[in-house]
Structure 1
């Protein structure tokens, strides 16, 4: 009996980890990833973050693992734990043979870019070639370019683009050129797009929809509206590339960012007239644009039309509309939208909901405010503590 008890204890010790402290059975790979991602979202201690990642044996082959790694890097960066981050990625590269390949090295490079650690990203590229004997391809080149974009180091993007293909004998692909165009678009150098297109022609690399979208975004950012038309004509005439739905959405979003939502709506309607069906993204950009311009009637109309036509309305649409309705003191409208949102299992952030509750009290809708808090506490029990004090203090405005 004593021997059996000892074996049971050993089993419990074997299966209990930081990912599942009470588990008596081993976790599957996917369960480990899910547990790691959940724990990382609320963890701030750098050593615990590393322990979680190690226990999950994360790999870039899994989407969940990529999310977990990105979350870990965000947490370590926010806490300025750069040495810990470098230690962790170096450890993975040097100790796990399954990660000693260009795919993981490229992922590590991007993670360094996310942490604004470009020197380490470049060192990792060199380590891959010199210590792992991996021949660099466009994949790792593109990872370096993307890392520099994430770090907002656009001069480094240009340096890598101009020098690395020659030094390391790498042939750029369409993604390489798209990343360079994206960098130009973000750094106010969108006119250089046309020289990149000429370079693509010389290298026999055909542009794609992403090429168009990245360039158009840059032209709109710099309010170069004529260049948008010039680019679209060039794409059609030279490459037989015609605007996709994603291209229309980029244009709609760009116009809305410039507070030209009426023009965006005209483009939206023209798209429909020409036979192109919009999607929920098209509606969201327009709705968001009108909200930001204070035109809540247009935003409400788009929201209603979106639902009427059967488009998927995601949480972000609800959150945006509730927030701006509260900003516009339209608390009863905001209440209806919030209730619909909560019924679907989503809830806007605490600040927005607190503003809604206070707004309802301010228009003598105390009972509605209390009912709303009750719904939140019932459906989202983990948030209930934050609402207890607010609920206790609810009272109608003094005359």
Structure 2
């Protein structure tokens, strides 16, 4: 371990050298020459990835800020901010981002500043996102547009500041001189629905057309989802009919997922499965939520064999790029393992658990223990030991000691 840490520090030191010297004489905004040595941006990302000290991450990031076109490397900004946010260091996020807002080399564009609003949002810093929004006219020399308004509203929504979404939206036309477009309206609809105020959201949807803002499928899906969560069947069906009868709207995966959820809520998972096939036939690619909802529905109804069938169907559905099939997440694996154990289908539960472990996904310990206990009661000692061995291999970090303690209590 000490050797690995030393190697990382040597790599970081080499990066600092690379960042300080090879490009120090290059004019701003010029491209580094091909002969300049290792790609400094790749080296920086690698060093940040390896570094666990948030202060050092900030130092590495700042040491590269002088590089030509550094501001254009969005992934580096996002990656660094993500690591600092996970370390709960908003002070360091502010330290690495704020200089770019006053740097004369930074682009004087609204789009560039919208990126910073989004970065502050992802770091859980909506107040800094708002401060950036306020500075936009002074930095770019012209008024803000709906683009920056929607970015700020999204930051508030992402951080569950629903009242600020509503307040900012309402003051936009008169106080900010911005006419909210469809994206800003959609964010308002989401905030209202997440507050549980679907009635007001419905009124907003009706008013959009009167203001010359045409609602899109996202607008209607937001209301559809809101009424689904409210359990208002009549309004759910009314919004769904508007979608299906409006030639300007094309139902998408969210629309179908709402309908699938509705059927599963009323124990009609077979109908939901049929709708899944209709969806696929129309060229609309289902996602994990589509399959997970139906699997959960069948398990709730006690039809575990049908849940396994849907699970296997998932393997035949390709992702958008067509390169591979959808891969189950830990929630789907756990649903199936638990459901199969309840039905005493230990062989199938074991097979799915092994697949989960092969992908280095560790189910909750209590689920694994329940499976192991059942295998032992069924005299499948070797199979139980195999599960234990695989769990021991993939368990990492703070969970290692907890697993060792659990493993010691097993009758193996």
TM-score after normalising by structure 1:
0.75
- Kindly indicate whether residue 112 of structure 2 is the aligned counterpart of residue 104 of structure 1: yes
Distance 1:194 1:393 in 2: 57
| Counterpart among 31, 34, 41 of residue 29 in structure 1 | 41
* Equivalent position of 1:247 in the other structure: 255
Secondary structure of the structure 2 residue equivalent to 1:98:
coil
- Kindly indicate whether residue 77 of structure 2 is the aligned counterpart of residue 72 of structure 1: no
Cα offsets for 1:252-275 (capped at 9, x unmatched): 24665xx44x33542441464585
- Kindly indicate whether residue 361 of structure 2 is the aligned counterpart of residue 347 of structure 1: yes
* Equivalent position of 1:333 in the other structure: 348
- Kindly indicate whether residue 299 of structure 2 is the aligned counterpart of residue 320 of structure 1: no
- Kindly indicate whether residue 274 of structure 2 is the aligned counterpart of residue 269 of structure 1: yes
Displacement after TM superposition at 1:125 (Å)? 0.9
Mark the CA change 1:30 to 1:216 in structure 2 (over 3 Å): closer, same or farther. Answer: farther
Displacement after TM superposition at 1:33 (Å)? 3.4
Displacement after TM superposition at 1:140 (Å)? 0.9
Secondary structure of the structure 2 residue equivalent to 1:128:
helix
Distance 2:275 2:12 in 1: 65
| Counterpart among 230, 236, 242 of residue 234 in structure 1 | 242
Displacement after TM superposition at 1:92 (Å)? 3.3
Displacement after TM superposition at 1:157 (Å)? 0.7
Distance 1:67 1:95 in 2: 19
Cα offsets for 1:222-244 (capped at 9, x unmatched): 11221122223334555632423
- Kindly indicate whether residue 112 of structure 2 is the aligned counterpart of residue 113 of structure 1: no
Equivalent runs, 1:114-263 vs 2, <5 Å: 114-133=122-141, 135-237=143-245, 240-253=248-261, 256=264, 259-260=265-266, 262-263=267-268
Mark the CA change 1:152 to 1:395 in structure 2 (over 3 Å): closer, same or farther. Answer: closer
Distance 2:407 2:175 in 1: 68
Mark the CA change 1:293 to 1:56 in structure 2 (over 3 Å): closer, same or farther. Answer: farther
* Equivalent position of 1:4 in the other structure: none
Any gaps of 5 or more consecutive residues in structure 1? 1-10
Cα offsets for 1:11-58 (capped at 9, x unmatched): 9997434999xxx9623534543653x347xx3x43134235435659
* Equivalent position of 2:385 in the other structure: 370
Contact 1:306 1:313 in 2 (8 A): yes
Secondary structure of the structure 1 residue equivalent to 2:160:
coil
Mark the CA change 1:267 to 1:141 in structure 2 (over 3 Å): closer, same or farther. Answer: same
Instruction: Please tell me the root mean square deviation across aligned C-alpha atoms, in Å.
Output: 4.1
Distance 1:242 1:16 in 2: 50
Distance 1:332 1:352 in 2: 18
State the number of aligned residues. Answer: 371
* 98-107 or 203-212, larger mean C-alpha shift: 98-107
Displacement after TM superposition at 1:170 (Å)? 2.1
Displacement after TM superposition at 1:88 (Å)? 3.1
Distance 2:165 2:331 in 1: 34
Contact 2:338 2:367 in 1 (8 A): no
Any gaps of 5 or more consecutive residues in structure 2? 1-9, 20-35
Contact 1:137 1:170 in 2 (8 A): yes
- Kindly indicate whether residue 400 of structure 2 is the aligned counterpart of residue 386 of structure 1: yes
TM-score after normalising by structure 2:
0.73
